[in-house]
Amino acid sequence: MIRPGPDEKVYPVVKIATILESLSQQGVAPTEALVGVRLSSSAISLPTTRVSLNQVIACYRNALRLCRDPRFAYEAGLRFHVSSYGMFGFAILSSMNFRQTMHFAVNYHELATPLADMSFKEADNSGAWTIVPVPHPHVDASLYRFLVELQFGIHLSLHREVMGPEFAPRELHVTYGPPENAPSYPELFGCPVRFGQSENKFLFEAHWLDGVPKLGNEITYAAVLKLCDEMMEDLQLHIGLVGKIRQILLVNLMRPTSFEAVADYLHMSTRTLRRRLVEENTSFRKLVDELRMQMAIKYLRDTNLTTEDIAYALGFSDAANFRHAFRRWTKSAPQQFRDISQRI
């Protein structure tokens, strides 16, 4: 799966619309929440509206700024419903068993405007979702926590709609330290919350996976799954040339790939490739920078690799050049970024 670039408008507007709805309950006008998002209030209600990852993140940063309620992200997540996700949600409802549902949700997650990578594992009588917020320069410590707690709310809402209103998580794990309102977390989330863990996890008793879906239908599921496959293919087509280049670069990050080599791989002249990139409002240098930046953030936030190791993995000649580039991307030094992330 080739992931869309942060400026590519390929996602439905639901992830923004639901946050605006939650903010309206706090007395925040849509125009305030959309400052810098480059999206009109009227476009929110149009089914044809498509938005980019950068637009969603800009809206969520506004939400953080405008709403000081520490419960906002989680409670906003509870507003998401299976029906919010169109065919993706319909497939979840019509799945024949819950283990199949988990498998589908992971494999087709790109249709849900993902703000985090998701994985699911069943072991030791537990079902466990692992949540890793997207590596993005504007996802700072506070927005990282916002995305994790928003996703906890979304997970609980969707599981209850699919498995039954009695569903509850057994335990939540988060990588950040306890915030000021940590004593209220068990009551808010309805289960123990463990801070300072190695991963963000949403855990529940595995017996929930043994239930029988009330709306499961083999024929309907097969038909909707086919539609989701077509949507995934359409998403890839919209990503187009930029996505293909990004995949080439990702495979060869440790060995920097030249513009000429990429053009040759795509069976294009350098002149044609340069023109096509201009048409898609980007450049080869920008794509390389974006990918290196995303991977650097992920390495610093989610691993214990040294700055020198990360520089090598991303194809920099030395750590000094990497530090210079990282400061240009994020306005902070790599170690400073890592320290802040670990103090979340």
Sequence spans of domains, the chain:
1-68, 70-216, 240-342
Quote the pLDDT of residue 9. 87
pLDDT of residue 158: 97
- Decide the pairing of beta strands 200-205 and 126-133: antiparallel
Residue that has been written with the tokens 């998401």 in this structure: 80
Give the E-state strand segments of the chain in sequence order: 11-12, 50-51, 116-123, 126-133, 171-173, 193-194, 200-205
pLDDT of residue 231: 86
Give the CA count within 13 Å in the CB-facing half-sphere of 228. Answer: 25
Please check whether residue 142 is in contact with residue 133, taking contact to mean a CB–CB distance below 8 angstroms.
Answer: no
Cβ-contact 244, 2 below 8 angstroms: yes
DSSP, res 139: -
- Looking at residue 344, what is its pLDDT? 55
**Which residue stretches of the chain have pLDDT < 50?**
none
What is the per-residue pLDDT across 247-292, written as a single tens digit (0 to 9) for each?
Answer: 788 777 777 789 999 999 889 999 999 999 998 888 999 999 988 9
- Single pTM value for the model: 0.83
pLDDT at 2: 63
The CA distance from 218 to 197, in Å, is 39
pLDDT of residue 3: 72
Phi first, then psi: give them for residue 5, nearest 5 degrees. Answer: -70, 160
Fold of domain 240-342: Arc Repressor Mutant, subunit A (1.10.10)
Euclidean distance between CA atoms 45 and 53, whole angstroms: 18
- pLDDT score, position 42: 92
Token pair for 217: 């239908």
Closest CA to 108 of 99, 121, 118: 118
The per-residue pLDDT for 281 is 82
pLDDT of residue 225: 93
Q: What is the pLDDT of residue 243?
A: 80
Beta bridge partners of 116: 133
